[in-house]
A and B are shown apart, each in its own frame.
Chain A
Amino acid sequence: MSISEEKKTAVPLEKMKWMYSEMVKIRYYEDQMVEVYSEGKAPVFNIGAGTVPGEMHLATGQEPAAVGMCAHLTKEDTVTAPHRPHHHAIAKGVDLKKMTAEIFGRKTGLGKGKGGHMHLFDPAVKFSCGGIVAAGIPHAAGAAMAARMKGTDAVAVAFIGEGAANAGAFHETLNLAALWNLPLIVVVEDNAYGISVPKKASTSVESNDKRAGAYGIAGAYVKDNDPVAMYKASEEAVTRARDGQGPTIIEIETYRFLGHFQGDPELYRDKEEVPGLRQQDPILKLKKQLLDSGMEDAEIEKMEKAAKQEVDEAYEFARNSEFPEADDALRDVFTS
């Protein structure tokens, strides 16, 4: 590699700092959610009780996929996310206060308390997510179509889990997106499990970037949950899409530090697995890279503090917000 090429692929320090602070924010957000979710669920766990009831799928450990990709997106680009959406939402710049209020079921939430944690919609930054596996992939393709029809250079990114790559919607959409040469990127987060089913028991290929060949599109693989490698793979894919060169599948090897949902007994995996994964915390790795690049401890600490403060403010906003009125349930079936 020539020096000029190396320069081109080096990640700008500003982007590294952004990714780091977003990862810290996501991690802290999820750590707080673990606490809040457990409020009112002890001594007996009851999914429908407490400050935040319902299912809760957290993304602790999966931060690199979201930040590596979203570092290249603006609010004009679309992101669709699955049932595990907080890291994508935060990295895409979703209003953190309204998102948290939604998860708390409050009137001030993104969906006035109607959606909850799996159903977050922030059209201001073109973000959505949903609870039906793989359903967001065609929505992203549609957003990519709309961008092209409107003559903008916006792209659309569908984040999915590796389990979703076995759904019909994945295969149908990729064929269609390839055929129509859409500016679509599908990011497959391989956290090794779809609930309890290990990837090798559900997927006929080793990694889903290999499936790109079947559609005649580009594929990339990012190993070791590495945010910098994810940044680079995403840069290529986004550039390709913006230049009208068609879709890409990126698969990233990532880690699910927690259960599928909070309350998952996790009897299907070895007790030693998570402590092992925690040893390879991507946040600590990126921090080391920042220090190596000459950043001062104090400056990093300042970034961390700012990120956490934003999260604290969001939780405070949510907690202090009002609940909807009961008969608000009857509104919004049709928009006015």
Chain B
Amino acid sequence: METAKKRMLSGNKAMAEAISQEMERDPNVFVLGEDIGKYGGIFGSTQGLIETYGPERVLDTPISETAFIGAAIGAAAEGMRPVAELMFVDFFGVCMDQIYNHMAKIPYMSGGNVKLPMVLMTAVGGGYNDAAQHSQTLYATFAHLPGMKVVAPSTPYDLKGMMTSAIRDDNPVVFMFHKSLQGLGWMDQLDEAVGNVPEEAYTVPLDKAAVVREGNDVTIVGIQMMTHYAVQAAEKLAEEGIEAEVIDLRSLAPIDKDTILTSLKKTGRLLVVDEDYLSYGMTAEIAAIAAEEALYDLEAPVRRVAVPDVPLPYSSVLEDFVIPGKEKIYEEVKSLLEEG
């Protein structure tokens, strides 16, 4: 029997395909944001859409984030399904009132009577010297605030499947895509930015973590780039006979406790890795889950690796020092295994 040839796509093409298929399927879906038309999105997530659906449904906006994200909310309340792009997550500051006081709260304040079926997609991540105002992930800033689903897929397959789910979901979804995983020609060329993506539409749930590597010795939880670095570190550890289980969190809110707890039962050791700031963040949340629900499964204290509570610096020497990499993960696991 002949197996179907696997179709490989970059992260951004996978996202654009999901949006395109949903636009085809549902005339209420439309896209708006800065440079999302002819340019195809600075990170390529809307490439080809204006050519297919025209400027009525693919709208380049002025640099007016409060206006266009607020307008997306208003349109969503009327039953449209907008996909709005905030070019870099760092720009949230100019429009957070719309995002948080409105998009996230209107469904609740209306007692569930107003639905806001919208997606706010945004680019996150550093590692290419774009400095303090263009390199953050801000995962926890959004995940902390109730009323929004917050997802951050790590593979082209999930980028497509989770975008499809996000558009079909009746709740506001903040969809964070990592710049380094888009497969952009002008960034570092990473193997992880390209992957198998089926042509037909499919969904991936917005509330499930994925075990991307199985192992019995230690659990590493990461998201986006940190998942990939964790897998790379795990491969090196395997050469030394250490088997790490790597969990790709994928969804920050709601968070999939079960997958984490099941793994902890097996390994008894936990390292959480984050490209966001250390304090009050994703690493703390998962450490708290372990402390509250798996304390007696733990053989050693939980370890956390994240950006050490400083803004992202520009110079390579400084940036490399603060953003966790595979070496740091490898060393942390080695030292964790010596404990307890």
Cβ-defined partner of B308 (8 Å) among A134, A202, A330: A330
* A18 contacts chain B at the CB level, 8 A cutoff: no
- B: interface residue count bin: 35 or more
Bitwise, A125-162 to B at CB < 8 A (1) or not (0) is 00000111111000000000000000000000000000
> Which of B3-11, B56-64, B205-213, B251-259 sits within the interface?
B56-64
Q: Which residues of B contact A239 (CB under 8 A)?
A: none
> Which of B100-108, B291-299, B314-322 sits within the interface?
B314-322
Chain A interface, >50% SS class: loop
Pair A132/B313 contact, Cβ less than 8 Å:
no
Closest to B320 in A: A326
Closest to A54 in B: B129
Q: Which residues of A contact B62 (CB under 8 A)?
A: 163, 166, 194, 197, 202-203
* A48 contacts chain B at the CB level, 8 A cutoff: yes
Q: Which of A130, A202, A267 has the most C-beta atoms of chain B within 10 angstroms of its own C-beta? A: A202
Rounded to whole angstroms, the CA-CA distance of A230 and B93 in the bound complex is 33
* Shortest CB distance B202–A (Å): 31
Given contacts A132-B94, A197-B35, contact A326 B321 (CB under 8 A): yes
> Which of A2-10, A114-122, A288-296, A300-308 sits within the interface?
A114-122
Pair A330/B94 contact, Cβ less than 8 Å:
no
Q: Which of B38, B127, B309, B315 has the most C-beta atoms of chain A within 10 angstroms of its own C-beta? A: B315
> Which of B110-118, B182-190, B262-270, B324-332 sits within the interface?
B182-190
Cβ-defined partner of A131 (8 Å) among B38, B129, B134: B134
Bitwise, A35-64 to B at CB < 8 A (1) or not (0) is 000000000111111000111000000000
Q: Which residues of A contact B130 (CB under 8 A)?
A: 47, 54-55, 116
Closest to B130 in A: A54
Rounded to whole angstroms, the CA-CA distance of A130 and B93 in the bound complex is 14
* B109 contacts chain A at the CB level, 8 A cutoff: no
Pair A168/B129 contact, Cβ less than 8 Å:
no
Cβ-defined partner of B131 (8 Å) among A119, A194, A268: A119
Pair A163/B187 contact, Cβ less than 8 Å:
no
Pair B39/A105 contact, Cβ less than 8 Å:
no
CB interface residues, A 244-270, toward B, < 8 Å: 263, 267-268
* B132 contacts chain A at the CB level, 8 A cutoff: yes
Pair A195/B39 contact, Cβ less than 8 Å:
yes
Cβ-defined partner of A202 (8 Å) among B63, B133, B189: B63
CB interface residues, A 175-228, toward B, < 8 Å: 194-197, 201-203
Pair A268/B313 contact, Cβ less than 8 Å:
no
Given contacts A114-B318, A132-B91, A263-B186, contact A329 B313 (CB under 8 A): yes
* B261 contacts chain A at the CB level, 8 A cutoff: no
Closest to A163 in B: B63
* Shortest CB distance B25–A (Å): 28
Q: Which residues of A contact B134 (CB under 8 A)?
A: 55, 118, 131
Pair A114/B128 contact, Cβ less than 8 Å:
no
Pair B133/A119 contact, Cβ less than 8 Å:
yes
Q: Which residues of A contact B128 (CB under 8 A)?
A: 47-48, 53-54
Pair A168/B310 contact, Cβ less than 8 Å:
no
Closest to A195 in B: B35
Closest to A196 in B: B39
* A333 contacts chain B at the CB level, 8 A cutoff: yes
Given contacts A105-B315, A323-B317, contact A116 B64 (CB under 8 A): no
Q: Which residues of B contact A167 (CB under 8 A)?
A: 63-65, 94
Given contacts A163-B63, A328-B318, contact A267 B38 (CB under 8 A): yes
Closest to A48 in B: B128
* B42 contacts chain A at the CB level, 8 A cutoff: yes
* A85 contacts chain B at the CB level, 8 A cutoff: no
* Shortest CB distance A85–B (Å): 13
Rounded to whole angstroms, the CA-CA distance of A133 and B130 in the bound complex is 15
Q: Which residues of B contact A53 (CB under 8 A)?
A: 128-129, 316
Given contacts A46-B186, A46-B188, A47-B128, contact A131 B133 (CB under 8 A): yes
Rounded to whole angstroms, the CA-CA distance of A48 and B190 in the bound complex is 13
Pair B39/A132 contact, Cβ less than 8 Å:
no
* A297 contacts chain B at the CB level, 8 A cutoff: no
Q: Which residues of A contact B185 (CB under 8 A)?
A: 45
Pair A114/B315 contact, Cβ less than 8 Å:
yes
CB interface residues, B 43-78, toward A, < 8 Å: 60-67
Closest to B180 in A: A48
* A327 contacts chain B at the CB level, 8 A cutoff: yes
CB interface residues, B 193-219, toward A, < 8 Å: none
* Shortest CB distance B133–A (Å): 4
* A272 contacts chain B at the CB level, 8 A cutoff: no
* Shortest CB distance A142–B (Å): 17
* A33 contacts chain B at the CB level, 8 A cutoff: no
Q: Which residues of A contact B310 (CB under 8 A)?
A: 329-330, 333
Closest to A328 in B: B318
Closest to A132 in B: B133
Cβ-defined partner of B132 (8 Å) among A119, A263, A323: A119
* A90 contacts chain B at the CB level, 8 A cutoff: no
Q: Which residues of A contact B274 (CB under 8 A)?
A: none
Closest to A268 in B: B38
Q: Which residues of A contact B314 (CB under 8 A)?
A: 54, 105, 111, 113-116, 119
10 contacts between A and B (CB under 8 A): A46-B186, A47-B129, A105-B314, A105-B318, A111-B314, A114-B311, A134-B94, A135-B94, A166-B64, A330-B308
Q: A44-B189, A48-B188 are in contact. List 14 more A-B contacts (CB 8 A).
A: A45-B185, A47-B130, A114-B131, A115-B131, A115-B314, A118-B134, A132-B93, A132-B133, A168-B94, A195-B34, A202-B62, A323-B317, A329-B313, A333-B310
Which 10 pairs between the two chains have the least Cβ-Cβ distance?
A116-B314, A105-B315, A48-B128, A113-B315, A54-B129, A166-B62, A53-B129, A326-B321, A196-B39, A131-B133
B binding-site residues for A, Cβ under 8 Å: 34-35, 37-39, 42, 60-67, 90-91, 93-94, 127-134, 185-189, 308-311, 313-322
